[in-house]
A and B are shown apart, each in its own frame.
Chain A
């Protein structure tokens, strides 16, 4: 589905990603773990076309992404639930969801089927469908951010720190839904600091440190590796 080859991304003089090689196969859920500032968010934003690639290349479904705009990438099937949720505060829950259908919806076409699927996954959103985004709790906002990403009929879902700032019970609830989405066969790349949660839903994972991939393997291998246990699992 996605392949990054020797990818380098920089903000001015500050190099955020150095020669990253990474692949996500169709149907997989892959976790990207690492400390703050390791470059995880930068990688997701680069996949979505928000950052320029300095060198190396990125292929989506074997096609080079090149200089395509974010809007075009969404049309190719890449959806993004950004860090910090970033739902539209002055739009209602339903409007937040409808906005994300721009990639495929033509004038007069309904998106009731897609709305129904999101509401089945997150019944709380259905109850709050006419409330403004800013009035939702953190957990509800995260569910909305994920639901919104699903509205674009994605083939590849990018999740950036879905557990950030959530109470443990809510974070588990969110990951329970991520697991369900993953079971539908959707390909997912999830960035997470909460390594336990991320590795529980993932098939494979990559560990990123200061912009480099330092470790890659199956979720089990990563859970057992000394490096991950010491640095990220605290055991």
Chain B
């Protein structure tokens, strides 16, 4: 029982990272139709932005985090300008392959800059444990889960209670009519990329202390986040969240109760079963009539 609480906490914390990555995936996909295969590298860049501000520059915690997120916002804007904008008129497959190419480029740029040796990343909760009468759980893991919950709430408020969020949803649903209604579509798409990058950045900053900062960390994250979106329902935000937590829990519980060698089998096995028997995922397509 004590073990289980510990495992559940760690599973939810890891699931938070996958969920945030999957959210970035989904908001970009639903607004632009682009499956961003560089999404995992976005998280890696987030972690290393934290390394740069907190470790290399030695900035204090709040300033370092804010600095890293500003870097991520710029990164998102740059990605929009350099990758998405020049390719947006091309067939969607070209854009997707473009994201693969740029993902590899980003990974190798990180390798050149930071080297292949993994870095430890500090957390404001370093070494802090919460004692639940016999069970000890990591304060960082709890903080990650809470922060993710708050972020999801903020994202929901943004999408449903602010003009820019409602406009983003309109663009995702019918871009031509969004133009007819006077929405500045290009600005909204830029904002979408920035938002996705910042979400990935927060995921990266929270993941850093759980793993190490490693230039190859992006690929496994992207694969798990992809599995999460397939399981939850491609294009669905609640699906991305549910799928993310499912994959995180499956990985941690699987590693402990089955075998750490097969920990990925559960998540990807479930993804394959969903693709075979319920390709629309848990949440499916809620909108029945698209025109």
Contacts and interface: CB of A to CB of B under 8 A. Distances in A.
Contact of A102 (B163, B173, B177, B290): B163
B184 A71 contact: yes
B166 A91 contact: yes
Given A98-B166, A99-B166, A105-B163, A89 B180 contact: no
Given A84-B291, A98-B166, A90 B286 contact: yes
A25 B195 CA distance: 45
A50 interface: yes
B182 A103 contact: yes
B166 A50 contact: no
A135 to B, nearest CB: 9
B169 interface: yes
B182 A102 contact: yes
B139 interface: no
Interface in B256-291: 286-291
A99 B287 contact: no
Contacts of B286: 90
A75 interface: yes
Using C-beta atoms within 8 Å of the partner chain, give the interface range for chain B.
20 to 34
A212 interface: no
Interface string B141-162: 0000000000000000000000
Max chain A Cβ within 10 angstroms of own Cβ: one of B176, B177, B183, B185: B177
Contacts of A89: 173, 287-291
Interface in A93-116: 95-96, 98-103, 105, 107
Interface in B162-179: 163, 166-167, 169-170, 173-174, 176-179
B132 interface: no
> By CB atoms of chain A within 10 A, which of B167, B170, B185, B288 has the most?
B170
Contacts of B290: 89
Interface in B21-41: none
Interface of A is mostly: loop
Contact of A70 (B173, B179, B287, B289): B179
B169 A91 contact: yes
Contact of B291 (A75, A86, A101): A86
B236 to A, nearest CB: 11
B183 to A, nearest CB: 5
B179 A102 contact: no
Contacts of B93: none
A75 B180 CA distance: 11
Nearest to B166: A95
Given A90-B287, A134-B289, A50 B180 contact: yes
A152 interface: yes
A148 B166 CA distance: 14
B179 A134 contact: no
B181 interface: yes
Contact of B183 (A82, A96, A99): A99
Contact of B182 (A82, A84, A91, A152): A152
Contact of B184 (A86, A101, A102): A102
Contacts of A132: 287
Interface of A: 48-50, 69-71, 74-75, 80, 82, 84, 86, 88-91, 95-96, 98-103, 105, 107, 132, 134, 148, 152
30 contacts: A48-B180, A49-B179, A50-B176, A50-B180, A69-B179, A70-B180, A82-B177, A84-B291, A86-B176, A86-B177, A89-B287, A89-B288, A89-B289, A89-B290, A90-B169, A91-B166, A95-B169, A99-B170, A99-B178, A101-B163, A102-B181, A102-B182, A102-B183, A102-B184, A103-B181, A107-B163, A132-B287, A134-B289, A152-B181, A152-B182
Given A71-B179, A103-B182, A134-B287, 14 more contacts: A49-B179, A50-B180, A74-B181, A86-B176, A88-B170, A89-B291, A90-B286, A91-B166, A96-B170, A98-B163, A99-B170, A102-B182, A103-B181, A134-B288
9 shortest A-B CB distances, which residue pairs? Answer: A74-B182, A103-B182, A70-B179, A134-B289, A100-B181, A86-B177, A80-B180, A99-B170, A90-B287
